[in-house]
Amino acid sequence: MRAWILIVIGWLVLSPVLQAQADWEVVIAHQREAVIRVEGTHNRRATGKILNVDDAVISIVNNFGDVARFQRADVRRVERLIGDPGAKTRGAQRGFLYGALISAATTYGIVMGIIFPAPYVRGLR
């Protein structure tokens, strides 16, 4: 019975350590210009391109050129961002443009109807 307890305790202790080692090797394998999001301890976060990764430190640079360095022990999560981050902005711009066009067309129709009413409307006055 004691052997099973020691095996379970050993597995619970070593499993996260081995998983963290495998995860860090995946981070090191990423390309240098890959866009990632890093969450560290004390609610510290950064998003940007990988500048440098080694066994102890990961450095990323954001769009403004600021460099953030995270020690390996301080990193809680690393996520690789896939896709275009500007897609939502383009969608919002397109929606705004369509709304403006429809509004302009409707306003034009109303104004033209008031200034130059249709012949069948004149008889109703």
Q: Mapped to the 3 state alphabet, what secondary structure does the chain carry?
A: CHHHHHHHHHHHHHHHHHHHHHHHHHHHHCCCCCEEEEEEHHHCEEEEEEEEECCCEEEEECCCCCEEEEEHHHEEEEEECCCCCCHHHHHHHHHHHHHHHHHHHHHHHHHHHHHCCCHHHHCCC
Q: Which domain holds residue 97?
A: 87-122
Number of independent structural domains in the chain? 2
Condensed to tens digits (0 to 9), the pLDDT of residues 61-85 reads 988 889 999 888 888 788 777 766 6
Tell me: do 39 and 98 sit in the same domain.
Answer: no
Tell me: do 45 and 102 sit in the same domain.
Answer: no
- Better-scored residue on pLDDT, 46 or 89: 46
pTM, two decimal places? 0.50
Condensed to tens digits (0 to 9), the pLDDT of residues 83-125 reads 666 677 778 888 889 999 998 888 888 777 776 666 665 555 5
Tell me: do 95 and 61 sit in the same domain.
Answer: no
Tell me: do 111 and 76 sit in the same domain.
Answer: no
Tell me: do 58 and 95 sit in the same domain.
Answer: no
Tell me: do 25 and 53 sit in the same domain.
Answer: yes
